[in-house]
């Protein structure tokens, strides 16, 4: 199921009541490219839904194909059961956050973090089309490490039967970004406290081969570039 | 308001229906020390609540004092308005997740991540006691960088009036942890795909002083240890 809608999209998502911030409005963005870049850099999202009237927030892997996000899981897991194909779907809020730096101000009040986050509101639906399910599962693996789906054994019938895939369209979406120095009050600038940003480390360390890895299998190119 | 309850606590939280996993039960933990360690290592939590019947998940800073988590924000922000002192509180789900490594299996199906997460369910209440508010705000700053609260200007009256503090007791809590190698099916072990774990970088890079930092202010000891 090729995503034929991508080229026809406007450059930005349309703000709604719940994607418009009540404060720090200058940090908000609805730009599709900004949103996609934040989503593509994350490993887990935090998926929120309502169960028995109460909120639930679970970390989970995800993948993106154009304007669609995909999540997968055991067909027995609670949120995935709740999106059964025959029902009207599950209302969710999916959030991805990167913490980029710790912001130390002279005043306790102005301490903050530099971050980039995306919040997606919408209705999640189970994917039943076999071809779309395949593409979604490839996207989920390639989201962990780009190029990995082609270098692993694809899911077999039994695995596919045990896996539920749900889709959330990118429609009601916003990003929020804080960058740069600490913002202190003018009267605090002369205080004797250090102020600045402590950047958090990104990227990954040397890969660790499985204990049962057969000899002679080299580290693949897609893991040596970083 | 000293936390006199800490010493009387049993070693583990009591599981409930919603903190007992439906699968991967061996990854669950209710041990207080395990939960505290995961919480103390995080920078942001993902706070879920229900607004107009729909889930909302927002990233936010937090701090811990014994068995209490604290969140703060503008008195005008939506979730904090919803916890007004006169109301019965706001039902929330607060989740903290660390992604430790990418787990590459020979099979697409067995790809995973190594992670540690904590999920807290409960009712969040606004804190009105001035002394508890002070301690909570110190904990929030010290959570970003330990030792920083004592090395910054405390909040003044105007800032305190603009800040709402909410508390969530650690009561209905669980941790979930995955560590170690990729788990492939026995029949996949001979496949020619690399398998193993790619550890994500932790810690932080060299601190960047604010552009307006007065000359002669050295990097504090609590930032040079890592």
For chain A (226 residues), the mean pLDDT of every run of 10, in chain order, is 60 94 88 98 96 95 98 78 71 98 97 97 95 97 95 96 95 97 96 97 95 94 80
pLDDT at residue A25 in the model: 85
Q: How crowded is the C-beta side of B190, counted as CA atoms within 13 Å?
A: 1
Q: What is the pLDDT of residue B9?
A: 80
pLDDT of residue B1: 44
CB-CB under 8 Å, B93 with A48: yes
Mutate to test the interface with A, among B70, B104, B163 (most CBs of A within 10 A): B104
Alpha-carbon separation of residue B194 from A138, A211, A215, B112, B184 (angstroms)? 17, 11, 10, 14, 12
Average pLDDT, chain B: 92
Q: How far apart are CA B223 and CA B226, in angstroms?
A: 7
Least reliable range by pLDDT among A148-157, B16-25, B44-53: B16-25
Q: Which fold has domain A11-223?
A: Pnp Oxidase; Chain A (2.30.110)
Q: Is the pLDDT of residue B85 over 70?
A: no
The verdict on a CB contact (< 8 Å) between B55 and A50 is yes
- Region for B218 from its dihedrals, namely left if φ exceeds 0, alpha if ψ lies in -120 to 50, beta otherwise: beta
| B210·A195 Cβ contact <8 A | yes
Q: What is the pLDDT of residues B138-170, one digit of tens each?
A: 999 999 999 999 999 999 999 999 999 999 999
Q: B112: Cβ–Cβ under 8 A, 6 or more apart, which residues?
A: A61, B103, B105, B178, B182
d(CA A189, CA A172): 40
Superfamily (CATH H level) for B6-223: Electron Transport, Fmn-binding Protein; Chain A (2.30.110.10)
Q: What angle do CA A37, A58, B68 make, to 5 degrees?
A: 110
ipTM over 0.90: yes
Among B77, B94, B194, select the one facing A22 at the smallest CB separation: B77
The predicted structure's pLDDT at residue A85 = 52
For the cut 70, the answer to whether the pLDDT of residue B86 exceeds it is no
**Which string of b and e fits A165-185 if b means at least 16 CB within 10 Å?**
bbbbbbebbbbbbbeebbebe
Distance from CA of B183 to the nearest CA of A (A): 9
Paired tokens of B94: 């607060």
Rounded CA separation A46/A60 (Å): 6
- Of A136, A41, A59, residue with least CA distance to A95: A59
**Average pLDDT in the B209-225 region?**
92
Share of chain B above pLDDT 70, in %: 91
pLDDT reported for residue A74:
79
Q: Which of the four pLDDT bands, split at 50, 70 and 90, describes residue B183?
A: very high
């Amino acid at each position: 199921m090729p995503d034929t809608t991508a080229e026809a999209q406007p450059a930005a998502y349309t703000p709604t009541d719940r994607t418009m911030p009540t404060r720090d409005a200058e940090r908000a963005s609805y730009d599709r490219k900004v949103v996609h870049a934040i989503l593509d850099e994350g490993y887990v999202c935090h998926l929120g839904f309502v169960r028995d009237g109460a909120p639930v927030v679970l970390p989970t892997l995800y993948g993106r194909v154009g304007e669609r996000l995909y999540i997968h899981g055991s067909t027995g897991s609670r949120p995935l059961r709740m999106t059964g194909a025959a029902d009207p779907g599950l209302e969710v809020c999916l959030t991805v956050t990167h913490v980029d730096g710790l912001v130390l101000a002279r005043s306790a009040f102005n301490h903050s973090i530099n971050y980039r986050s995306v919040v997606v509101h919408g209705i999640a639906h189970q994917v039943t089309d076999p071809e779309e399910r395949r593409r979604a599962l490839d996207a989920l693996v390639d989201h962990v490490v780009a190029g990995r789906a082609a270098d692993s054994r694809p899911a077999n019938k039994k695995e596919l039967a045990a896996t539920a895939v749900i889709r959330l369209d990118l429609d009601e979406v916003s990003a929020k970004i804080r960058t740069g120095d600490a913002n202190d009050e003018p009267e605090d600038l002369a205080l004797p406290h250090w102020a600045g940003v402590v950047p958090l480390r990104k990227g990954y360390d040397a890969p660790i081969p499985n204990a049962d890895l057969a000899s002679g299998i080299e580290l693949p190119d897609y893991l040596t570039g970083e």
